[in-house]
Structure formats: structure tokens, C-alpha cells
Chains A and B, each alone.
Chain A
């Protein structure tokens, strides 16, 4: 079972920032927060991950609260191509651990 809770859907205007929340109140100290997205009919795509510090890459920013019980994925300037289901996943290190996908958040970017 997924260890995270996300809103089922969100809308965002094109060009504006999309802020996608995720609750992971039972996260343990050695578990990372990962974000993936799945654009319609495609394979999931890795976006970003973090442990406790905020992270930024060319796709997005990840803000993790100090208590690590929640996080927010930020797409700074959403485009129509960012319309997808976004998954927040909590997982420890090690290849024997599974990525458990929940229901995710369906983000719709509107023109």
C-alpha cells in the first residue's frame, strides 16, 4: 500500500506555477520522497527526489517540510505538456525495495 496521500485532481493555468502537495506522515528517517509523472499512455517518468533538503532540477522543485511529513512538487511555469498524473512515492534505499505507486494527482493544465 502507498504510504502517501495526494489530492485526486488539480487544475492549473498555463504559465502559472503548479504546486502539488503530498502527505507522508509515516515516513521514516531513511526514506526518500520521489516524484514521478505519467503522461497519458506513456511510461512513468522520474521527476525529482529528496531526503530532507529542498531540491531543484531542470524539471521541478521539491519542498520538504522540516518534519518531513509532507512535501510539495512545484512546476514553476506549467505548460500544456505537463498535463499528467503525478505520483508521490516514499521509499528507502536499496534495490530490493519496491516503488509503490498510489493513485496520484491528475494535473490538468488549461490554456
Chain B
């Protein structure tokens, strides 16, 4: 069974469109994350949610809005897509506290291409 799943795997869209990426985890974790990996392969955290509450919010344009309907889901909605948004987006989850909070389980990624 897939622990952290993301849909879609690939997303190709035009500039200016609005799109969403969905993430689900079946590990019973309290905390979920979104990371962005750009063309230079740098992996950077964007957001972190714990029990539907935002706990980390990096300097990300407000066109990006994470939404957590419940602790098993963290979706990423992106408005007015720009060329620079092209990247691979990874969802991850972990326990809330302690050293094991850094043992994050990552999804397979969503490759977003903005034309």
C-alpha cells in the first residue's frame, strides 16, 4: 500500500491557469509538508501543517495556498501559474514531535510544467 500518494503525477498547463495537486497519507501521521524541487535539483520546504494547522510557511508567493481538509490530506492550490512554478512538488508526512518528526515519508512527486 502506498504510504504517501500524490495526484497527478504529471501536470502540464498554460501560464495564468489555476491548478491543484492532491496529497494523501495513510500512515496516521499528524504533520504533512510540501516541498519544491527546481530544475537545479534544490529541494526546499514550502509549507508544513500539523493537524490542519499551518506551522511552517516559507517565503512562498501567496498564489500558493495549501489546504488541509483533515490530517490525512494536504492539497496545494496554485493560482495564476507562472513559468517559474515549473518544478517537481513533493508531499511528505511525519510524526509531530521528537527525533522521529524528522523521519519524513515522501510521495512520488508531481512534475508541473507551465508553458
Binding site for B on A (CB under 8 A): 32, 34, 38, 41-46, 49, 51, 85, 87, 89, 91, 93-101, 103
Contacts and interface: CB of A to CB of B under 8 A. Distances in A.
Given A99-B104, A101-B42, 16 more contacts: A34-B102, A34-B103, A41-B109, A42-B108, A42-B109, A43-B90, A44-B106, A46-B104, A49-B103, A87-B43, A93-B101, A94-B98, A95-B94, A99-B45, A100-B45, A101-B43
B108 to A, nearest CB: 6
Interface of B: 4, 30-31, 41-45, 48, 50, 55-56, 58, 90, 92, 94-99, 101-109
B52 to A, nearest CB: 13
21 contacts: A34-B103, A38-B43, A42-B109, A43-B108, A44-B43, A46-B103, A46-B104, A49-B99, A93-B97, A93-B98, A93-B101, A95-B31, A95-B95, A95-B97, A96-B56, A98-B56, A98-B58, A99-B45, A99-B104, A101-B42, A103-B41
